[in-house]
């Protein structure tokens, strides 16, 4: 039976999610919520710059709640727990890259009640956090005995991220070091990454008394740096590093790290992406120690990234590909530890292309 899907918001993740839904053999797009009145009432295909697809977008929340649908891909810039609860209570499963990867369910009474009322499931996912930071390390750990340390790390040129307001006002690029360190970025990211750390700690049995810490650093421009948010002047923030670490008895056991740079030249300190360039790394130290390097989630060029960033697309795909498993799950808040293994699907035109 086809699963009826609603897309909530049409930013970068939302647009990619719509593409993935339309290519998935088990899914059908039946609705779309948009923030702006200008988009409301328009065909979703036209909003995405293509031909009409027969689905009309709306900014009416009540219309979405009343819609006959099985699942919502909830992808606004910032999550709203009341919106999620309303969607769940209306009988719609929710998959989202905005949080709830491994939440403390003792603090989520309202959402759990909404799941029970609507016989629905909530699943938080994504890429980093939401995949590389916990799903891949747990997969690799199956090849290791006596694991002692787990690391998931991102190395990205942030010039390829096509959301200038977010890059400047939330990520803190182009600000003074004091302004950047006072921005909400560390706490926004930390809410997800700390859940990822706890999932790995719990699943791999590192202990019940792990403590988490957050470290953030900035590098400033020493000369003008051209960027998609404008020229970053000397003394302004041009690179950021974040590290979240879980320790047991004072020893680090799980670490999630982010390295974001506006290029690789003209920084103080003199940071680079390293010889391997842009990438994600996952490492499990034990017998034997295993390291995986993941490529393809960063774009080939700045222009390509601003047009369609593969990291954003993968985030959306991970959400969409989880939908059948989430819809089949028991009501409640479900993580990777609760769901069966799921995959992407073959291209719908594969047989035609082969013929």
Q: Please report the pLDDT score of residue 161 as a whole number.
A: 87
Q: How far does the chain reach from its first CA to its final CA, in angstroms?
A: 28
Count of C-beta atoms within a 10 Å radius of residue 187: 9
Average pLDDT over residues 117-126: 98
Domain ranges within the chain, ordered by starting residue = 3-126+314-354, 135-296
Q: Please report the pLDDT score of residue 208 as a whole number.
A: 84
Q: What is the pLDDT of residues 286-322, one digit of tens each?
A: 999 999 999 999 999 988 888 889 999 999 999 999 9
Statement: residue 1 has pLDDT above 90: no
Q: What is the pLDDT of residues 57-68, one digit of tens each?
A: 999 999 999 999
186 alpha carbon, distance to own chain's centre: 15
Statement: residue 250 has pLDDT above 80: yes
The pLDDT-based confidence of 37 (bands split at 50, 70, 90) is very high
pTM: 0.94
- How, if at all, do strands 332-333 and 121-124 pair? parallel
Is-cis flag, bond preceding 290, omega within 30? no
Question: Residues 249, 250, 251, 254: what is their CA dihedral angle, to the nearest 10 degrees?
Answer: 90
Q: H helices of 102-154, where? A: 109-118, 135-141
User: Would you report the helix, strand and coil content of the chain in percent, each value rounded to 5?
Assistant: 35, 25, 40
Q: Please report the pLDDT score of residue 352 as a whole number.
A: 56
- How, if at all, do strands 71-74 and 3-8 pair? parallel
Percent of the chain whose pLDDT exceeds 70? 99
The CATH class given to the 3-126+314-354 domain equals alpha beta
Q: Please report the pLDDT score of residue 343 as a whole number.
A: 95
Q: What is the pLDDT of residues 321-343, one digit of tens each?
A: 999 999 999 999 999 999 999 99
């Amino acid at each position: 039976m086809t699963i009826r899907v609603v897309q909530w918001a049409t930013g970068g993740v939302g647009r990619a999610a719509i593409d993935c839904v339309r290519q998935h053999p088990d899914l059908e797009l039946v609705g779309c919520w948009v923030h702006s009145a200008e988009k409301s009432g328009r065909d979703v295909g036209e909003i995405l710059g293509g031909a009409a697809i027969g689905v009309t977008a709306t900014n009416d929340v009540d219309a979405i709640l009343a819609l006959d649908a099985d699942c919502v891909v909830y992808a606004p810039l910032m999550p709203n727990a009341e919106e999620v609860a309303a969607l769940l209570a209306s009988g719609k499963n929710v998959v989202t890259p905005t949080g709830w990867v491994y939440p403390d369910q003792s603090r989520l009474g309202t959402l759990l009640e909404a799941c029970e009322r609507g016989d629905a499931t909530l699943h938080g996912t994504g890429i980093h956090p939401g995949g590389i930071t916990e799903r891949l390390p747990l997969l690799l750990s199956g090849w290791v005995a006596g694991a002692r340390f787990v690391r998931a790390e991102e190395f990205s040129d942030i010039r390829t991220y096509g959301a200038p307001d977010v890059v400047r006002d939330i990520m803190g690029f182009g600000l003074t070091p004091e302004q950047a360190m006072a921005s909400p970025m560390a706490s926004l990211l930390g809410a997800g990454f700390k859940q990822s750390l706890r999932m790995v700690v719990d699943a791999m049995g590192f202990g019940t008394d792990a403590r988490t810490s957050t470290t953030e650093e900035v590098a400033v421009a020493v000369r003008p740096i051209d960027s998609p948010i404008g020229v970053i002047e000397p003394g302004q923030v041009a690179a950021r590093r974040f590290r979240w670490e879980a320790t047991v008895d004072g020893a680090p056991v799980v670490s999630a790290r982010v390295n974001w740079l506006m290029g690789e030249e003209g920084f103080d300190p003199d940071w680079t992406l390293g010889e391997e360039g842009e990438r994600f790394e996952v490492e499990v130290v034990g017998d034997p120690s295993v390291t995986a390097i993941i490529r393809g989630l960063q774009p080939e060029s700045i222009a390509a990234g601003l047009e369609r960033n593969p990291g954003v697309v993968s985030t959306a795909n991970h959400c969409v590909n989880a939908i059948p498993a989430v819809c089949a799950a028991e009501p409640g808040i479900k993580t990777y530890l609760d769901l069966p293994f799921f995959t992407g699907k073959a291209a719908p035109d594969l047989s035609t292309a082969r013929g």
